[in-house]
């Protein structure tokens, strides 16, 4: 075999260490100072970070903000707006933003925050309370109360101005309903009505999926929010939060309502009213529902969000301009029809000012520009958003801009926001696991609920209460 020259090398480490240390230090010093000297924001420039779509063809937000920049610079002569887009999918956007918010050198003056994580960022001390500004801003009275609570922290202060929301309900296929002998103006009053309709479809219209309820970890937050919470918030008296107790600041262990919601999911999959379990637990189930099942008339009822028509817009690959003729909309009822009769969950995004922002006052002025009635309305229509402002919601021009918009806007009055406190993402995962257990049939409802209780304790550091 060929011999490799492996002669012993002289020892050089003794020389290397000081040399390397010195060089590393000097380089580090130059890099760091170079970083520091350039930034430092000017008092006349407001820097705005927002989430840019990863899809290059979608420029809704870019166009809107460019317009706002123009208006703002005209309205406040001598002031400049610098847009700092972050092009990333949701989870990476949060990560990048959180890193920027850590230091005054990188913190922008205004950020676009998801209500899903805003409370975590508040707890981290990343954001500034806006109450002093909101008190002096007449438009704040136009925002409905539930939306105002979306960015309200446990300390009672508000940290963000919502720029719209989303709501959820039941979408149903009128063609399938006709074949099954169900009414075209279907509106179930209780969970039992929903299941009864699904059973009728299963019996009378073979080869379609009667009802889709997102479930399990692969669907992620969609399973928790569109699936489980749409059920859970319709249990009990429907007025108190079934997940989190604000007064004691504790998470609520799985009670009867929790088990009832799990039972519903269990029934759907046990009676094969939902998609095949392996499809339901496919990570691409959301695309499958919006892109294939609904447009192709293969799904009877879908418990889903207000944004679905975005998937059927021109140039989306699943163009379906006539969807509103073929699909009907119904509210998700409460469990036994108890008040208020319907359930919806809401999320959405807010504009917030970082604690380390250089120009917070100017940033709030920019929010005011974006939230004139006309500008807010323009935004809702452009991004298929649901208005959280009373004046816009009442405007016929908004209500008729797209089919379905009135239906989903009316739901805002009876909608719930998640208790999106720092532990929420972990709680959400625990819910998905419990759902998955009953979906596959690996766990009984009681077993899934008790394993949720165990998970909840570790996810929330034992901040759990029984109700």
Query: Which residues sit at the interface with other proteins, rule CB under 8 A?
Result: 1-3, 5, 7, 10, 12, 15-16, 19-20, 23-24, 27-28, 91-92, 94-95, 98, 117, 119-121, 123-126, 216-218, 276-279, 281-284, 421-423, 425-426, 429, 433, 436, 440, 442
Q: Cα(460)–Cα(467) distance, rounded to whole angstroms?
A: 16
Residue 239: how many CA atoms within 13 Å on its side-chain side?
Answer: 4
Q: How far is the CB of 199 from other proteins (least distance, A)?
A: 24
Q: How far is the CB of 111 from other proteins (least distance, A)?
A: 13
CB contact at 8 A, 359 and 72:
no
Q: Which is nearer to other proteins, 19 or 35 (CB)?
A: 19
Q: Which is nearer to other proteins, 115 or 409 (CB)?
A: 115
Nearest partner of 439 among 255, 200, 197, 212, judged by Cα: 212
Q: How far is the CB of 352 from other proteins (least distance, A)?
A: 13
Q: How far is the CB of 81 from other proteins (least distance, A)?
A: 27
CB contact at 8 A, 345 and 416:
yes
Q: Which is nearer to other proteins, 85 or 425 (CB)?
A: 425
Q: Which is nearer to other proteins, 175 or 425 (CB)?
A: 425
The single-letter DSSP state of residue 139 is: G
Q: Which is nearer to other proteins, 127 or 294 (CB)?
A: 127
Q: Cα(97)–Cα(203) distance, rounded to whole angstroms?
A: 50
Q: Cα(67)–Cα(359) distance, rounded to whole angstroms?
A: 21
Q: Which is nearer to other proteins, 239 or 287 (CB)?
A: 287
Q: How far is the CB of 1 from other proteins (least distance, A)?
A: 7
For the chain, the residue count is 467
> CA dist 256 to 7, 261, 262, 266, 283, Å?
76, 9, 10, 15, 29
Q: Which is nearer to other proteins, 3 or 397 (CB)?
A: 3
Q: How far is the CB of 173 from other proteins (least distance, A)?
A: 21
CB contact at 8 A, 228 and 435:
yes
| Tokens 């569109």 -> residue | 226
Q: Cα(393)–Cα(165) distance, rounded to whole angstroms?
A: 12
Q: How far is the CB of 254 from other proteins (least distance, A)?
A: 19
Q: How far is the CB of 174 from other proteins (least distance, A)?
A: 27
Q: Which is nearer to other proteins, 24 or 394 (CB)?
A: 24
Three-state secondary-structure class, residue 256: helix
Q: How far is the CB of 419 from other proteins (least distance, A)?
A: 13
Q: Cα(122)–Cα(164) distance, rounded to whole angstroms?
A: 20
CA angle 215, 217, 219 (to 5 degrees): 60
Q: Which is nearer to other proteins, 17 or 372 (CB)?
A: 17
b/e sequence 416-442, b meaning 16+ C-beta within 10 Å: bbbbbbebbbebbbbbbbbbbbbbeee
């Amino acid at each position: 075999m060929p011999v490799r020259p492996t002669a012993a090398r002289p020892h050089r480490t003794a020389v290397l260490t000081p040399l390397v240390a010195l060089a590393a230090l000097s380089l580090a010093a130059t890099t760091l100072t170079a970083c520091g000297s350039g930034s430092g924001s000017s008092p006349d420039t407001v820097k705005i970070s927002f989430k840019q779509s990863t899809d290059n063809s979608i420029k809704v937000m870019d166009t809107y903000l460019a317009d706002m920049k123009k208006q703002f610079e005209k309205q406040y002569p001598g002031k400049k707006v610098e847009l700092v887009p972050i092009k990333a999918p949701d989870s990476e956007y949060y990560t990048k933003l959180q890193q920027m918010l850590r230091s005054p050198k990188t913190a922008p003056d205004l950020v676009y925050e998801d209500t899903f994580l805003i409370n975590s960022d508040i707890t981290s001390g990343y954001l500034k309370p806006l109450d002093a500004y909101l008190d002096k801003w007449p438009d704040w009275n136009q925002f409905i109360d539930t939306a105002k609570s979306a960015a309200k922290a446990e300390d009672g202060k508000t940290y963000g101005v919502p720029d719209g929301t989303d709501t959820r309900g039941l979408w149903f296929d009128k063609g399938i309903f006709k074949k099954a002998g169900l009414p075209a103006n279907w509106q179930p009053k209780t969970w039992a009505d929903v299941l009864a309709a699904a059973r009728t479809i299963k019996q009378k219209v073979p080869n379609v999926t009667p009802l889709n309820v997102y479930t399990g970890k692969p669907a992620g937050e969609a399973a928790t929010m569109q699936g489980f919470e749409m059920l859970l918030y319709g249990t009990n008296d429907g007025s108190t939060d079934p997940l989190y107790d604000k007064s004691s600041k504790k998470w609520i262990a799985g009670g009867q309502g929790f088990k009832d919601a799990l039972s519903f999911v269990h029934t759907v999959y046990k009676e094969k009213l939902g998609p095949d379990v392996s499809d339901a637990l496919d990570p691409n189930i959301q695309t499958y529902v919006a892109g294939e099942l609904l447009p192709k008339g293969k799904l009877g009822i879908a418990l889903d969000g207000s944004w679905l028509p975005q998937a059927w817009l021109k140039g989306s690959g699943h163009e379906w301009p006539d969807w509103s003729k073929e699909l009907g909309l119904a509210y998700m009822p409460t469990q036994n029809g108890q008040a208020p009769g319907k359930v919806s969950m809401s999320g959405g995004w807010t504009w917030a000012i970082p604690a380390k922002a250089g120009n917070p006052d100017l940033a709030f002025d920019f929010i005011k520009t974006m939230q004139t009635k006309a500008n807010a309305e323009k935004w809702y229509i452009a991004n298929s958003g649901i208005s959280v402002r009373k004046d816009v919601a009442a405007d016929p021009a908004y209500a008729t801009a797209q089919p379905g918009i009135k239906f989903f806007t009316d739901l805002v009055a009876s909608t719930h926001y998640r208790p999106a406190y720092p532990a929420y993402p972990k709680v959400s995962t625990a819910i998905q696991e419990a759902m998955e257990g009953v979906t596959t049939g690996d766990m009984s409802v009681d077993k899934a609920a008790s394993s949720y209780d165990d998970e909840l304790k570790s996810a929330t550091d034992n901040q759990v209460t029984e109700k």
